[in-house]
Chains A and B, each alone.
Chain A
Amino acid sequence: MFFEIRNLSKNFGGLKAVNEVSFSVKKGEIVGIIGPNGSGKTTVFNLVTGFHTPDRGFVIFKDEVISNLRPDQICKRGIARTFQIPQPLPRLSVLKNVMVGAYSKTSEEGEARRKGLAVLEFLGLLGQKDVLAEKLRGATMRRLELARALATDPEILMIDEIAAGLNPTESAAIVKVIKQMREDTGLTILIIDHVLNVVLNVVDRLVVLHHGEMIIEGLPHEVIMDRKVTEVYLGEYHVGA
């Protein structure tokens, strides 16, 4: 099994943030995780990447249980993520930000720099490589988030609400980038988002969370037509583009 979440559960002081969530991901798939705000999506990401330890359940990646590893160990094993609210390294340049990611797989300055520049080029950020990260605009900062994560040479990329707050042109551009990533490198992608066109146009499969539980999974068009989902989402879903 390439990647599997099994019975994953996490409580925060009485609140069941994630409750017995299980699903698996094949190599090269793009899986979308959707659900109303507070349904536990980001918590699942945090559990997978090691920011929290699960109370119950496992995260299994390439036949290894990674649920109790530190975030940096998980990164080295090939899982990278972006944050819902971008977390740049503010006073470092765009290139340096990306090089931090690149250094996870090499110790040589030249190599890290090359990798960094390559990733920046892919995301169209090469022109801003020396700009301090704190000076970037919202959409550009999101691209930096992606670039940094890509620089770690991941096998699984986890993208957390990257299209939030972007206008239709910007979110279309992001969709294009995500598709390109999968085409070029066969990257497996887990993506959380609310914006409909991102979700529908890009994912192979959808998982829907509600109150920390998985209520359905399947092909995108089937899932969003399902009555359970529309009930849960009524009034919460906003359509992009």
Chain B
Amino acid sequence: MFHIMKKFIQSALQRKYLEKRAVFIIMLVLVLLPLKLKGVYFYHCMIFTFYFAVLGTSWNIISGYSGAVSLGHAAFLSIGAYTSTILLINFQLTPWIGMLIGGSLSALSGLVICYPATKLKGPYFVMSTAAFAEILRYLTSQSKFAGGASGLIIPVVTGNSLYWFQFIEKWPFYYIILFFTIIVVFISYKIENSKVGLYLMAIRENRGAAQMLGVNVAKYLRMATCLSAFFTGIAGTFYAQYMVYISPDAIMGLGESIKIALVAIIGGMGTFIGPIIGAALYFGVGEIVRFLLGAEISGLSSFIYGIILIVFILLFPKGLVQFLKDMGGRFERYFIH
């Protein structure tokens, strides 16, 4: 009897089937979810979870795979958000095109970050990204054109409008961000298993050795940064359209950059699935804490969250995904031996 069970589990664990089936089922669930569950709050949580999943996955491309940890991604986010918003306000340009333009501008500014990436090591690079984001934040809060410190309000039309990227209900936003998430995660997955991904990881592990093995470090870092910045910028436009308000304090601070990085870190830097798990954890934990503590004492949830993060990072230094992979490996070996 036990033998039969063992066989069953063995076949279920067969790599190929497991992954493809799991992915399919999960996607199905996510797509059908809105039909079952309702509630503004639920949507808001899911939307923000996916939003951070997109951000974390994009961040992962340059920081997880290539090892160039960035604490300045809020800059890319804002360039995207502000570009599409300014174009919308001043030229009535549909945010969809504005989004692409914003993403491209972010990618271009990514090139600016690239030069330090090739020259600076470790903590120096991290700080230069933070400084870059701060410079941008100051510039924005001084600029009347960009609304200054009071930010910009996205002009609203009545009713739903696909063209103006505005909806009264939440569910369209849900599907849009789900779509973005799928795309970005898919791209990340493709990268991870390709030459580009391996080259980026080689750059992370040992730049000198990578060069000697034929990796054009500057070129690949540029590629990674631009890709990462582009998708982050696109997420920025989504944020602008969803929240209908952007300001330097809301999306340009060091805190935002840290959130983006944290999502990828706790899920697992350097794996395509890590940031998704991280985003889920980020919101999951936040919700659980809020739920358990009933009435929200200002800051308590964030405080506990900070504590949990510390514990988490120390317990799972490679991130949850790697931990599970290691566990899974042991699990598998037991059944296959």
Contact = CB atoms under 8 A, between A and B. Distances in A.
Interface of A: 49-51, 70-73, 75-76, 80-81, 83, 87-92, 96, 99-101, 103-105, 107, 109, 112, 148-149, 152
Interface string B276-288: 0000000000000
Interface in B181-231: 193-195, 198-199, 201-202, 205-206, 208-217
A72 B220 CA distance: 12
B214 A76 contact: yes
Contacts of A109: 193-195
Contacts of B217: 72
Contact of A89 (B193, B194, B201, B216): B201
Contact of A75 (B198, B199, B206, B213): B213
B73 to A, nearest CB: 23
Given A91-B205, A92-B202, A80 B195 contact: no
A100 B212 CA distance: 10
A91 B206 CA distance: 10
Contacts of A51: 208, 212
Nearest to B209: A87
B214 A101 contact: yes
Given A72-B216, A90-B205, A92-B202, A103 B195 contact: yes
Contacts of A71: 208, 211-212
10 contacts: A72-B211, A75-B214, A76-B214, A89-B209, A92-B202, A100-B202, A101-B213, A101-B214, A104-B215, A112-B195
Instruction: Please give me the 5 A-B residue pairs with the lowest Cβ-Cβ distance, nearest first.
Output: A104-B214, A89-B205, A75-B214, A87-B209, A71-B211
A92 B213 contact: no
A75 B195 contact: no
B215 A72 contact: yes
A90 B206 contact: yes
A73 B198 CA distance: 18
